[in-house]
Amino acid sequence: MRILFTTYSGLGKGGAEVSMKLLAEGLRKRGHDVYIASSGDYENGIRFKEFKGIPFYSYHNRYLIREFSKIVKGKKIELIHSQDRLTSIAAIRTAKKFNIPIVVNFRDYWFACPRSSCLAPDLTEYEKCSYSIILRKFPVKRWLWDMNKWRYIKSRWKELNNADLKIANGSVIKRRLEKCGINNIKIIPVLRDFSEEKGNGKLIKDKYNLRKVVITFIGSLDYHKGIMNMLKIMPDIMDSKNISFLIVGDGPLLNKIKSMNHQGIVLTGRIDKKEMKDIYGASDIILLPSVWQEPLSGILLEAAAYNKVVVSSNTGGTPDILPEKYMLDPLDLKAWKIKIIELVNDEKLREKLGTEWGRMAKEKYNVDAIAKLFEMEYYNVRDNRI
């Protein structure tokens, strides 16, 4: 099949672009011709211009439809798969113009929120946004822009619902799509390449003078990621001088965490992607204490690639892929403390749980397994239109 992927951004923007790139590679290995239309560089990529500043949606969509139409005609495309917010409507209209199937992927909450998060600046959550929420909870300087975005998003729900196939990567995204009147959603989980080279943990341990057991948090240093909850219990856990708490990432809480100045807490700041394999190599326990309905953290599968045990909140998309024994209520800090201490004290248990999670994830969420699921759905959509 000749397939066109559409995405606005190039690699380095976020996890969605990585997932799309891996899916394209998996489908090519299964014999399909996959082209990627984007403002960034990809293998088999066809570039369109990047809009600087604020895009005007009507002009933006007309421009993208022209670009996508050239590709459909020139490459004899049989199916379009839109991967993101900024290309979805143009991709749908192009597919309808040429009477070919259109697939839309939803990896965050852009259809329900101008901030793509369903999370207000004061960290209250909502199922879908409203003008009232914008006026009460969003910064005044963003009111006009966010209201304009919200008006546009709401006006496109019917078009999104008319796509031949709608894909969510988890049940929490599916639920919020349905709240917006977008129905008949298929859930296909995220994928990762588990063949990457293993890291050298000793490099990181030496670089940051880490102790014997390393507990690691990876992510944005923001309240909704739960890092401050972990810092409430970590001093007690680190009474032993054998434990380091490694915090990998950057964000608004960085200076506040630095000011705590607790021995054993090590902040790396933002880490280059190439060095992440060494971070995992140095880590014994990975924490994902998120307190919001995070669609799905790629950290779960990255940890699995290195056979690392994960302790995660039971929120958002995590319950879709992670077994219950790895998950806790994000606000039950006593339970977190007990679980972490249990793992710190039992190296064999850490290795057993990490190996179990790694084996399970590698079987279910590898590139070929997920590409096969998408391939089956593509054929179903195509055959149902004949």
Contact 305, 194 (CB under 8 A): yes
Task: Tell me what pLDDT residue 5 has.
Answer: 98
pLDDT of 56 above 90? no
Could you name the CATH architecture of 2-107+156-191+366-385?
A: 3-Layer(aba) Sandwich (3.40)
Q: In the structure, what pLDDT confidence band is assigned to residue 287 with cuts at 50, 70 and 90?
A: very high
| Domain residue spans of the chain | 2-107+156-191+366-385, 201-364
Instruction: Give 101-130 as a 3 state SS string.
Output: CEEEEECCCCCCCCCCCCECCCCCECCCCC
Q: In the structure, what pLDDT confidence band is assigned to residue 46 with cuts at 50, 70 and 90?
A: very high
Q: In the structure, what pLDDT confidence band is assigned to residue 72 with cuts at 50, 70 and 90?
A: very high
Same fold, 2-107+156-191+366-385 and 201-364: yes
Contact 85, 110 (CB under 8 A): yes
Average pLDDT rounded to a whole number, residues 99-118: 96
Tens-digit pLDDT profile for residues 145-190: 999 999 999 999 999 999 999 999 999 999 999 999 999 999 999 8
In the block, residue with structure tokens 């914008």: 134
Comparing CA positions, the residue from 273, 278, 274, 271 lying closest to residue 199 is 278
pLDDT of 17 above 70? yes
Tens-digit pLDDT profile for residues 224-245: 999 999 999 999 998 777 999 9
Tens-digit pLDDT profile for residues 309-360: 999 999 999 999 999 999 999 999 999 999 999 999 999 999 999 999 999 9
User: What are the structure tokens assigned to 251, written together?
Assistant: 């964000």
C-alpha neighbours within 13 Å on the C-beta side of residue 24: 25
Q: Determine the topology of domain 201-364 in CATH.
A: Rossmann fold (3.40.50)
How far is the CA of 279 from the CAs of 87, 237, 254, 353, in angstroms?
A: 35, 21, 19, 19
Higher pLDDT, 15 or 267: 267
Phi and psi at 114, nearest 5°, equal -60, -20
User: What are the structure tokens assigned to 145, written together?
Assistant: 């822009």
Average pLDDT rounded to a whole number, residues 83-90: 95
Q: For residues 357 and 287, what is the distance between their CA atoms, to the nearest angstrom?
A: 14
Beta bridge partners of 105: 167
Beta bridge partners of 104: 82, 166
Average pLDDT rounded to a whole number, residues 277-305: 95
How many of the other CB atoms lie within 10 Å of CB of 204? Answer: 26
Q: For the chain, percent helix, then strand, then coil, each to nearest 5?
A: 50, 15, 35
User: What are the structure tokens assigned to 277, written together?
Assistant: 């394999």
Task: Tell me what pLDDT residue 55 has.
Answer: 60
Q: In the structure, what pLDDT confidence band is assigned to residue 13 with cuts at 50, 70 and 90?
A: confident
Going by the DSSP 8-state scheme, the letter that residue 273 receives in this structure is: G
